[in-house]
Amino acid sequence: MSTAPFGSFSPQGGLVQIGSKEELVRQRLEDERRRLEREAGIERRQVQRFQRPVERPFTKSQRDDTTILFGGLTWKHEKLVHGALESLGYKCEAVPVPNKKAFQLGKEYGNNGQCNPTYFTVGNLVEYLQNLEETGLTRREILDRYVFFTAGACGPCRFGMYEAEYRLALRNSGFDGFRVLLFQQSGGLNQAEAEAGLEMNLDFFLGILNALNIGDVVNDVAYQIRPFEVNPGETDRVLDECMDLLHEVMRKTQPYSLEGKLGSLLKKTSFAGTAEYLGKFLNQLYGDDYTAALREVRDRFNTIPVDRTRVKPLVKVTGEFWAQTTEGDGNFNMFRFLEKEGAQVLVEPIGTWIMYMIHQAKQETKDERGLDLIRNHVPKWNLAKVFGSHVNTRQKLAKLTVAEKIFAREYHKLIDALGGIAHHLTDQYELQRMGHPFYNSRAGGGEGHLEVAKNIYYSNKDLCHMVLSLKPFGCMPSTQSDGAQSAVVSQYKDMIFIPIETSGEGDVNAHSRVQMALGEAKVRAKNEMNEVLKQTGVTLEEVRQFAQENPELQQPMYKYGHHKGVVGVAANFVLHVAERMKAQRREVVVVN
Ligand code: SF4
């Protein structure tokens, strides 16, 4: 459209000089809007938009008197993050798991139309601060002595609005000026500012990553043991003890720094920074602080007697990141409910999400290959620049690949130390391959294609009897993937898939829907067991008797493999025991 200036007559009849056609259209629209408003008697009010407040900084000098609040994960992850932050010299506190009151407060003080996790997490912070006030602290003291630390992102879903939501709700609830610290998901390993109260440097990220990874594997193992424990409550008791032990280890483990004679020498050189970075990485890769503690935890878990002959449907929980992680009202206390109903829960580790972020960054780098050349109008014959751009992309990809490999190696190292029964990280490339035909893997936000891909992955690989997807009310990406899931279930007809919308109310309704799907999964688990008993020719009583005679079979760390086409723990166990019984009979025959 041309933007040449020209004149026009206004509706009032005068000649108005209009700068361009666009301005003319805009002015006509505005005149018409005013006319219609006058006719309808609508009065225009000044719109007051929320402005991000200028935040008071949290500085290094305030560190000793300031408590960093954080939350949003399971209590196990939070306890370890607490230890990691303490080891770096911070005072910190995890806010409790959000409850319904937090949800109501989030609704009361926040914007309308937010997604469910926003209400829960924002309201939870307000509730915590109100409780502090009730203990006798003044608002000024709360503002000065506490800060909140959370993750931030630029969207594309409402996650990009969390920071603004926190600030709005804090202002509306009377805590205007309360400080919210963000670390950006895509911000890399060093987001530290000089003299910042919270230094987001390499030590900080390694500490947090170790805490999250250890939290993941311990959580996974506890969920594997609890449904089969012989003495009710024993897993939780041992878990409590183990978490205390691991918290202490996290708290006492100091980040690597250059020390000794060589360290002092290196500190005087320009190589000091690089040497320290290198030392930190090597210490991370080959240090034994966490693995030794996990071996101790493994031995403690191994004292819990288990009965693996209990037939239980295996339920894989997926969905939106927060809804599938929290262990409270935010997802209708779904984990405990499933266990109470006789299911075994397969929880989702935070590690999958971290691998997904790296995978998406790689994907983006590949997709944007050469775009800088087009943007800067670099001709094809300028080989030096074309080559430079190519090398640049290669270097970025190589760094991300190294990050991917190191992360997986570290994660699996912890699994091995904890007895090797926790689940390995799912392969992101395989998830992409499975999910992409149904949900474009370039579409970001929330769990992206993962929700769809995990459904196919766990069902097709005989890793669960049923997939339960926890989707927050008002979640944009989950709503999209819901549409795609109908195509998935119509293609994979054997799947038992149930999406549950978590809305902060309506527990009974949600539980009853889950119960119905679980009934189907229970039948499948029972049929599978009957099939296995028929195939092996043993009875459950014989298997139990054999397990009594061989105590290692009652230990949770005992490994016995997974048979293709067989999902349940009990069915796989029977197959294994039947093989051992057969082998034992053969031995007896040979001896005689
Ligand atoms: S993924 Fe869904 S629930 Fe989570 S922040 Fe985004 S919109 Fe909200």
Instruction: Give the pLDDT of residue 441.
Output: 93
Q: In ligand 1, which atom is closest to the CA atom of 159?
A: 5
Which residues are registered as beta bridge partners of 182? 150
Q: Is 158 in the pocket of ligand 1 (CB under 6 A)?
A: yes
Q: For residue 155, how far is its CA from the centre of ligand 1 (angstroms)? A: 9
Alpha helices in 440-506 (DSSP H): 450-460, 476-491
pLDDT one-digit tens code per residue, 502-513: 987 889 999 999
Tens digit of pLDDT for each residue in 328-354?
A: 999 999 999 999 999 999 999 999 999
Predicted pLDDT of residue 452: 94
Pair of tokens at residue 222:
């506890």
Instruction: Identify the three-state secondary structure at position 502.
Output: strand
With a cut of 90, say whether residue 160 has pLDDT above it.
Answer: no
CA distance 363 to 93: 37
Say yes or no: CB of residue 476 within 6 Å of ligand 1: yes
pLDDT at 192: 55
pLDDT band at 1 (very low <50, low <70, confident <90, very high): very low
Using CA atoms, how far apart are residues 427 and 410, in angstroms rounded to an integer? 15
| Strand residue runs (E) in 6-159 | 6-9, 15-18, 67-70, 91-94, 146-152
CA distance 395 to 391: 6
Q: Is the pTM of this model over 0.95?
A: no
Least confident of 283-287, 400-404, 438-442: 283-287
Distance between alpha carbon 514 and the CA centroid of its chain, in Å? Answer: 23
What pLDDT is stored for residue 577 in this prediction? 96
C-beta of 475 in contact with ligand 1 (< 6 A) = yes
- Which residue puts its alpha carbon closest to atom 3 of ligand 1? 475
The end-to-end CA distance of the chain, in Å, is 98
| Residue 439: Cβ within 10 Å count | 23
pLDDT-derived band at 57, boundaries 50, 70, 90? confident
What torsion, rounded to 10 degrees, do the Cα atoms 148, 153, 154, 158 define?
Answer: -80
User: Is the shortest distance between the CB of 200 and ligand 1 below 6 Å?
Assistant: no
What distance in angstroms lies between residue 159's CA and the mean position of ligand 1's atoms?
6
Q: What stretch of H or E contains 383?
A: helix 383-417
- Ligand 1 centroid – CA 439 distance (Å): 17
Atom 4 of ligand 1: nearest residue by CA position: 446
421, 430, 409, 510: which is closest to 219 by C-alpha? 421
pLDDT at 191: 52
- HSE-up (13 A, CA, CB side) for residue 77: 22
Q: Beta strands 344-346 and 497-502: pairing type?
A: unpaired
pLDDT score for 4: 42
